[in-house]
């Protein structure tokens, strides 16, 4: 009995599909293996964000720094100031612990501290401040105009809060950290208070990816 034309075409398609599937199985090719699984992070994944992509600021030694200087390392960038009573020292302490817990990969982590109080945070002050947590941490000191520009680019908040004397003021500021992969791409937004272990896990994941 002759096979109808439409049924004959359907059989050809099925046979062809079976042939391709058989060939893929023979060659050990998984049809769903076209892309690697996306890494899972504890911090907020902001890969592809169109802000906070780079900076050009002087460090405490007067050397101009950009993200390109730290290629090959996971970079964690935080905005703060040396006289901060709680958030800043807590974050820096946690990052020192993260670096320690990374063991042999600790030197592949670079912490950057951008001061929001350049009037009081002199190079000498910030060298001592970074040294209190880890000598490898780098402080960046913008001018007042640079601070306004970089804060806008990074979408961070800072505001001077007057004290009892002209020099006893405090600074309100955003408390999150920006995390970059080893190629200098912005990947994560780490909220304050997330803890050491989640950050260690995220840094390890970025080092592997």
Residues 61, 123 contacting (CB under 8 angstroms): yes
15 contacts: CB under 8 Å, gap ≥ 6 = none
Binding annotation: 84, 88, 173
Tokens of 158: 């800072």
What gap in Å lies between CA 6 and CA 10, rounded to an integer?
Answer: 6
Contacts of 46 (CB under 8 A, 6+ apart): 186, 187, 188, 189
Asked whether 67 and 185 are in contact (CB, 8 A), the reply is no
- Residue 174's alpha-carbon distances to 35, 76, 96, 116, in angstroms, are 36, 15, 20, 10
- Return all residues near 54 (Cβ < 8 A) that are at least 6 apart: 66, 67, 184
Rounded CA-CA distance 125/60 in Å is 9
| Binding annotation for Cu cation | 84, 88, 173
Residue 117 is given by DSSP the state -
């Amino acid at each position: 009995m002759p096979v109808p034309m439409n049924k004959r075409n359907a059989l050809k398609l099925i046979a062809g599909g079976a042939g391709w599937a058989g060939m893929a199985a023979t060659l050990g090719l998984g049809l769903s293996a076209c892309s690697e699984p996306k890494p899972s992070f504890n911090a907020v994944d902001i890969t592809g964000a169109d802000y906070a992509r780079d900076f050009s600021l002087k460090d405490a030694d007067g050397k101009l720094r950009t993200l390109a200087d730290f290629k090959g390392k996971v970079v964690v960038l935080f905005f703060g100031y040396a006289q901060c009573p709680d958030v800043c020292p807590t974050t820096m302490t946690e990052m020192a612990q993260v670096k320690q817990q990374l063991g042999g990969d600790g030197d592949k982590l670079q912490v950057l501290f951008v001061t929001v109080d350049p009037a009081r945070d002199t190079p000498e002050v910030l060298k001592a401040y970074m040294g209190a947590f880890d000598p490898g941490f780098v402080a960046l000191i913008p001018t007042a105009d640079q601070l306004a520009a970089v804060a806008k680019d990074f979408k961070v908040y800072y505001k001077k809060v007057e004290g009892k004397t002209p020099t006893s003021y405090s600074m309100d500021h955003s408390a999150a950290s920006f995390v970059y992969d080893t190629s200098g791409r912005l990947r994560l937004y780490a909220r304050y208070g997330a803890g050491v272990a989640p950050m260690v896990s995220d840094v390890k994941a970025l080092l592997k990816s």
